[in-house]
Amino acid sequence: MVAIESLTSEGQAILEARIDLMPGPTPLELLPRFSEAIGAEIWVKRDDVGSLGLVGNKVRKLEYLLADAVRQGASVLVTVGAAQSNHARATASAAAKLGLRCVLILSETSTAPPSGNHLLDLLFGAEVEFVDGASWDLLDATLAERCNELERGGERPYAIPMGGSTPLGALGLARGYLELGAQLAAQDVSAEAVIHASSSGGTQAGLELGRALVGRGPAIRGIAVAKSPGILEDDVAAIATGAAALVGLPRSWSAEEVILDYAQVGPGYGLPTPAGEAAIRLLAHTEGILTDPVYSGKGLAGLIDQVHRGLLHGPVVFWHTGGTPALFDPIHGAALLEAPGSG
Ligand SMILES: *Cc1c(COP(=O)(O)O)cnc(C)c1O
């Protein structure tokens, strides 16, 4: 990686202490037909493309979190999420690669037979435990309890909070932003903004840190898909500030600096919206690239909406965070095809 002038050699070493789960830069591609359809130059950063399972943004966080787990001699990875959690599935795939046991505590019973990410969790050999109707706060409590139990049973558990959104995990996206900067420079593109789906805050926090490390580059604009206004800004600011401290960068974020758009949340987390479904169809029809109804489709809908409202002119980078296994959850499939060609 390029040396960052703002970091000491210790800080630089922390930024390099990762397990390589996402080899090489992910592709940066121009979307000519999609750009023409929406009226602005759009590029896509393909974090949905990789070599580990069906990859996605969570793998960038896991590169740092699992380096830490290995350093601590962990025998089992334990994490939490929704039944169709991409983060849980990414953890299961990484655990398989490293030969670690993996326990996933999921907040609702998935459909039977298992589909989408739940099916992949099982295929990667994870032990899936459902806590019906658990709130996200209760899941974090359950995570701590389950780790204690495993420890009493002689295991060395490594707990990963919801979405892997810790300061350490966020370093993965800071590194991703540096990677993007080099790709934009090589293409001689000066992008106005990076747009992505934002949920537990680690992705946006990491991208903010990456921008602070280079001191320039496209602004970060999150499209919220879950939390209500106010809470996510605080989370992003806190994680970014913590991540900066980890690498020794004297920089802190306030909630006011965090740019988030709540227009795409719709009825709530995991529930599809007409705009999100139209965005999924449009990208699929014009470029043959898949996004999902829970995250990346809503992120893309936010990008289209901001271009149409004159808030963005381009070039813009859509950070594709992955999530395509949700397309194969039966609750989404039919609705996506309801209005073929309308996108
Ligand atoms: C988790 C996830 C996000 C949001 O990332 P956070 O770091 O939780 O904000 C976006 N897209 C996909 C596909 C995800 O799985």
Residue 138 clears pLDDT 90, i.e. is over it: no
Together in a domain, 93 and 177: no
Per the structure, the count of domains in the chain is 2
What band does 1 get if pLDDT is binned at 50, 70 and 90? low
How many Å is the maximal CA-CA distance in the chain?
A: 59
- Ligand 1 pocket: which of 61, 86, 262, 320 to mutate (most atoms <8 Å of CB)? 86
Q: Identify the domain containing residue 214 by its residue range.
A: 2-53+166-338
In tens, the pLDDT along 288-337 reads: 999 999 999 999 999 999 999 999 999 999 999 999 999 998 887 777 88
What band does 2 get if pLDDT is binned at 50, 70 and 90? low
- Kindly report the pTM of this predicted structure: 0.96
Residue 67 lies in a domain: yes
**E strand or H helix at 209:** helix 202-214
In tens, the pLDDT along 67-101 reads: 999 999 999 999 999 989 999 999 999 999 999 99
- Ligand 1 pocket: which of 203, 261, 300 to mutate (most atoms <8 Å of CB)? 203
Together in a domain, 26 and 63: no
Q: Which ligand 1 atom is nearest residue 198's CA?
A: 9
Q: Determine the distance separating the centroid of ligand 1 and the alpha carbon of 153, expressed in angstroms.
A: 33
Residue 217 clears pLDDT 80, i.e. is over it: yes
Q: Residue 250 has what DSSP assignment?
A: -
What band does 343 get if pLDDT is binned at 50, 70 and 90? very low
Q: Which ligand 1 atom is nearest residue 170's CA?
A: 7
Distance CA 165, CA 263 (A): 23
Together in a domain, 262 and 140: no
Radius of gyration of the chain (CA): 19
Residue 343 lies in a domain: no
Q: Determine the distance separating the centroid of ligand 1 and the alpha carbon of 269, expressed in angstroms.
A: 11
Provide CB contacts within 8 A for 18, sequence distance 6+: 63, 64, 67, 171, 172, 175
CA-to-CA dists, residue 37 to 40, 58, 81, 301, angstroms: 8, 30, 35, 13
Q: How far is residue 46 CA from its own chain's centroid?
A: 12
Together in a domain, 130 and 270: no
CB 26 within 8 A of CB 45: yes
Together in a domain, 331 and 199: yes
Together in a domain, 237 and 155: no
The residue with tokens 């089992």 is 76
Q: Can you read off the two tokens belonging to residue 33?
A: 């037909």
What band does 43 get if pLDDT is binned at 50, 70 and 90? very high
Q: Which ligand 1 atom is nearest residue 86's CA?
A: 15
Together in a domain, 314 and 194: yes
Tell me which amino acid residue 65 is. Answer: L
Together in a domain, 254 and 189: yes
Query: Coil, helix or strand for 327?
Result: helix
Higher pLDDT, residue 134 or 124: 124
Would you state the pLDDT for residue 229?
A: 84
Residue 259 lies in a domain: yes
Q: Determine the distance separating the centroid of ligand 1 and the alpha carbon of 14, expressed in angstroms.
A: 23
Residue 220 lies in a domain: yes
Residue 236 lies in a domain: yes
Q: Which ligand 1 atom is nearest residue 322's CA?
A: 13
CB 131 within 8 A of CB 102: no
Q: Can you read off the two tokens belonging to residue 316?
A: 């813009």
Strand pairing report for 127-130 and 76-81: unpaired
How confident is the model over 29-33, as a mean pLDDT? 98
CATH number at residue 229: 3.40.50.1100
85 is annotated as an active-site residue? yes
Would you state the pLDDT for residue 330?
A: 83
In tens, the pLDDT along 252-273 reads: 999 999 999 999 999 999 999 9
The mean pLDDT of the chain is 94
- Ligand 1-lining residues (CB < 6 angstroms): 56-58, 86-87, 163, 165, 197-204, 295-296, 321-323
